[in-house]
Structure 1
Amino acid sequence: MCGNCDYTIHGRHHHFGWDNSLPPVQRVAPGSTLEFNCLDSGNGHFTRDSTVADVSSMDFGKVNPVTGPIHVDGAQPGDALKIEILSFTPSGFGWTANIPGFGLLADQFPDPALALWSYDAVSLAPALYGSHAKVPLKPFAGTIGVAPAEAGLLSVVPPRRVGGNLDIRDLAAGTTLYLPVEVEGALFSIGDTHAAQGDGEVCGTAIESAMDVALRLELVKDANLAMPRFSTPGPVTRHLDVDGYEVTTGVGSDLMEGARAAVSGMIDLLGKWRGLSPEDAYMLCSVCGDLRISEIVDQPNWVVSFYFPRVVFS
């Protein structure tokens, strides 16, 4: 709980998709602090008793709910909304799923799969992945944005220049994010909170987990940002670095195919090295492994690498 926040925005004040005609649930002055009750990306569909059959019964018209919108007094197109991410209060429960038709390797993984997570919401000790591994946690908000200028109801799934479903794991406590404002009041919303995620979120889901988020909202007048930018308070991978990495690569003229090859190679390696099933390896890669562009100048071929932290097996 954020005992010192100026406002609490309850989870019932959520919406699906971006729409600049939505009435704000709260109007705030720049400099205000707010605590948002954020639902998980499945809108509470999964529980501790869920089974893999529940993956197919999700209502895909109600995924990635975001809490808000918030009208920030004085915000005008051309300004930037400065978001200071203060803290996260996690729920202690999460889920990861392979959803048929979704994810980097959707063609290779046509069947649903589900992993349920129980973690210590206070200590944030590494979370057990069955009997296979322990994943270090780093809470963050996957979807964080302001309303686009484009009229009508727009999907929340793709990210946009005004933010949205960015899925950047470094938007964690202590980070400051700047978003371009396109409409009066900015109309800020947040949700899709994660307990952990690898860069790339390759199977399409992280450790999806409801939690409360405390923020401070400020304005930067006439910033004229082209795209989101952010600053972090310090190192961003020290929760994973301690035991080094195993790395697979993809080399070729197409970055997407390189990414697919690098992840496929890691799934094969985890099967041989640790005896994981392809489905378990794929979901584990999504919550703690990192896709990186290692080389993009030596045409005609580029190098994509996939880093898997050995600490999860320590």
Structure 2
Amino acid sequence: MCQGDDLNCPHFKLHYEKFKEGLDIERRSLLRSGVFAGGGAAALGAFGGLSVVTPALAQASAARQPAERSWHTLSANADTVHWGYFSKTLKPRVEINSGDIVTIETLTHHAGDDLERMVTGDPGAESVFLWTKDKKGVDRRGAGSTDPKVYKKGSGDGQGVHIMTGPVFVRGAEPGDILEVRILDCVPRSCANPQFKGKSFGSNAAANWGFQYNDLLGGAKREVVTIYQLETTGGKNWAEAVYNFQWVPQTDPFGVTHTTIDYPGVPVDHSKTKRNNDVLKGVRLPIRPHFGTLGLAPSEADFVDTIPPSYTGGNIDNWRIGKGATMYYPVAVEGALLSAGDPHASQGDSELCGTAIECSMTGTFQLIVHKKADLGGTPLEQLNYPLLETQTEWLVHGFSFANYLKELGPEAQSAIYSKSSVDLAMRDAFRKMRHFLMTTKGLTEDEAISLMSIGVDFGVTQVVDGNWGVHALVRKDVFSGRA
């Protein structure tokens, strides 16, 4: 269905004008809210009154921005996505100035679990998931080899699975700077199939990489996919299960048989599956839309698997990285090269079975560069990890290895999968929260340790992404009595 993006549609002009009208309404709403202001000043107002961006840093960053700010749109299609990897070598799909806003469409890599509900009728998704015996819309899926003589599962070998839209090049961003990413909105992508009008769908796979896989009752191993639906008309704020099915061997259009879920985007032939429609009856799961994978290109390698998160962000899988939140990332390459993907309708801490409700989303972001020269004496001066800020909380993200690409050497991208542990991630989260409290709040080490024990919540972010994660959360009102 044309949404103002299909030039071949006989009603393209009408659809495009309707799309622009909706975008203008959204723009005016944001302009009235003050979010479109420069620097970090808006964060102090619209985002909660207490921010790691000090007024002086906000002013310095705003002064470096052009007087005119722009709104950009980046659709998701076979020409604008990269599947399964971050790369400093990628050509930017859009270039923006610091302070600009960009709306980015993102697609779930699990749409092949139900093409009828998540791909059919959607030109962008159809171009990405195109796969016949002769070609694939996006051939490379992962950071692995693209040589048919080498790969076994498909180009890229599934060493990385997320469909990433981008990258976005932010002018003026250089290594040593901090990129502030404000998530202004995050909404589910409507199903384009007229049969399911007003709905959006997502997939949850209890997969072979899940924490449960080797600990199932009876000892038998299985992968079970559950399809969920939610409304896009605003009538319901929850998701509910539609059906589930057990994965059975699937042969892709190139003739490769996948006995387990081991390569992204394999189109499921439901004539081979047995659907169970009597699943999770009466269960309403509140949706909390967010981006599981959002981050910048690292500098250590040309092609980096999207699965393990690291110091430039990536697959953090924290459900709090949604509308109203702000992420701060250390910039590793020129232009920062931000990419967004792995959209989720909902997820619990740990993402235990291997996935969330993997559901295509559209996000709107404001990107602000804080230059290294301006960071001295501010809370962001020594930031070398992804930091999350909400209206009421700060969260640091600990991983088994803070920068596994550097710490584990030439074989890092394979070694990480056998070396992760919650213990290591907890230690990293402790060290980062100690650093955060000492540098941003001026606490002594002893004060920070005491506060961490009584006023900081540590939680398991995820145990399925190769580089396991623990987050540490401190509420802003803990410091309400300080000047």
The counterpart of 2:291, out of the listed 141, 149, 157, is 141
User: Which has the higher relative contact order, 1 or 2, with Cα contacts under 8 A spaced 6 or more apart?
Assistant: 1
Go from structure 1 to structure 2 and tell me whether the alpha carbon gap of 1:201 and 1:116 turns closer, same or farther (over 3 Å shift).
same
Pair 1:225-2:383 in alignment: yes
Q: Aligned Cα RMSD in Å?
A: 2.7
1:108 aligns with 2:230: no
Q: Which residue of 2 aligns with 1:125?
A: 237
Alignment match of 1:191 (pick from 320, 326, 341): 341
**1:20 counterpart residue number:** 88
Is the deviation greater in 130-139 or in 178-187?
A: 130-139
Contact 1:180 1:224 in 2 (8 A): no
* Cα distance in structure 2, aligned partners of 1:62 and 1:226: 24
Tell me which of 157, 168, 182 is aligned to 2:332: 182
Kindly state the Cα deviation for residue 88 of structure 1 after the two structures are TM-superposed: 1.4
- 1:84 aligned to 2:185? no
Structure in which a larger fraction of residues adopt helix: 2
Q: CA deviation at 1:125?
A: 1.6
Residues 2 and 214 in structure 1, CA contact (< 8 A), matched pair in contact too: no
Q: TM-score, normalised by structure 1?
A: 0.69
Distance 1:48 1:14, change over 3 A: closer
1:234: how far off?
Answer: 4.0
What secondary structure sits across from 1:47 in the alignment?
helix
CA distance in 1, matches of 2:89, 2:393: 39
- 2:109 aligned to which of 38, 41, 64: 41
| Offset of residue 162 of structure 1 | 0.1
CA offsets 1:33-65 (integer angstroms, 9 cap, x no match): 0111101132x3122658xxxxxx998467211
What TM-score, normalized to structure 2? 0.46
Say whether residues 1:173 and 2:337 are aligned partners: no
Residue of structure 2 in register with 1:292 after alignment? 459
1:157 matches 2:315:
no
Which letter maps to 2:222? Answer: D
Contact 1:199 1:291 in 2 (8 A): no
Rounded Cα–Cα distance in structure 2 between residues aligned with 1:9 and 1:224: 32
Of 163, 168, 171 in structure 2, the residue corresponding to residue 65 of structure 1 is: 163
Q: Deviations over 1:186-230 (max 9, x none)?
A: 000001000000011011100100011000000111144210101
CA deviation digits over 1:75-117, x for unaligned, max 9? Answer: 01010110000011202211101122x1112212421101111
- Aligned 8 A contact 1:40 1:193 in 2: yes
Shift of 1:128: 1.8
Identical positions, percent: 31
Aligned to 2:400: none
Structure 1 unmatched runs, 5+: 51-56, 237-253, 260-289, 294-314
SS, match of residue 84 in structure 1: strand
How many residues in Structure 1 have an aligned counterpart in Structure 2? 236
Q: 1:128 to 1:148 in 2, by over 3 A?
A: same
Q: Distance in 1 between matches of 2:115 and 2:331?
A: 39
CA deviations over 1:206-260 (Å, ceiling 9, x no partner): 0100011000000111144210101112489xxxxxxxxxxxxxxxxx856xx9x
Task: Give yes or no for contact 2:159–2:305 (8 Å, CA) kept in 1.
Answer: no
- Distance, in Å, in 1 between the alignment partners of 2:393 and 2:304 is 35
Q: Which has the larger radius of gyration?
A: 2
Aligned to 1:277: none
Q: Name the one with the larger strand percent.
A: 1
Letter in 1 for 2:385: M
The separation in 2 between residues aligned to 1:291 and 1:105, in whole angstroms, is: 22
Matched position secondary structure for 1:45? helix
Give the 3 Å change call, closer, same or farther, for CA 99–60 of structure 1 in structure 2. farther
Q: Quick one: which amino acid aligns to residue 199 of structure 1? A: D
Tell me, in whole angstroms, the C-alpha distance in 2 between the residues paired with 1:151 and 1:139: 31
Q: Which amino acid in the other structure matches residue 115 of structure 1?
A: T
Partner SS, residue 82 of structure 1: strand
Q: Secondary structure at the match of 2:350?
A: coil
Secondary structure in 2 matching 1:77: coil
1:7 maps to 2:67: no
* CA distance in structure 1 between the partners assigned to 2:213 and 2:201 by the alignment: 26
Residue type of the alignment partner of 1:104: F
